[in-house]
Amino acid sequence: MSITLKQEQEKFILDKLQQGKYKSAEELLTTAFQLLEENEQKEQEIIWLREKILEGKKQMEEGKMTDGEIVFQRLEEKLKRMQNS
């Protein structure tokens, strides 16, 4: 695969190499791809959270709510079970 870089992209890479932050362009690109992958995972998590928020809003509108105290009690019980196993 052959990739053509814009002049500012090439300058960025060369600047980072001169700063000694990366030993090679390959190392810099590996890091860039890892960050891109992490970013995509975070975007998927945000989509999931937005869906859960909408689901929760719908349940609230339908009157399907659980008291906060009960929720925290259940979480504490679950945490204790996890610690004991």
pLDDT at 24: 96
Parse the chain into domains and list their residue ranges.
7-84
pLDDT at 83: 87
Q: Given its phi and psi angles, is residue 8 left (phi above 0), alpha (psi -120 to 50 degrees) or beta?
A: alpha
Chain position carrying tokens 């906060």: 68
Per-residue pLDDT of the chain (85 residues; tens, 9 = 90+): 899 999 999 999 999 999 999 999 999 999 999 999 999 999 999 999 999 999 988 988 898 877 788 888 888 998 888 888 7
CA 29 to each of CA 20, 34, 40, 43, 52: distance values in angstroms, whole numbers, following the listed order: 15, 8, 16, 21, 35
The model carries a pTM of 0.61
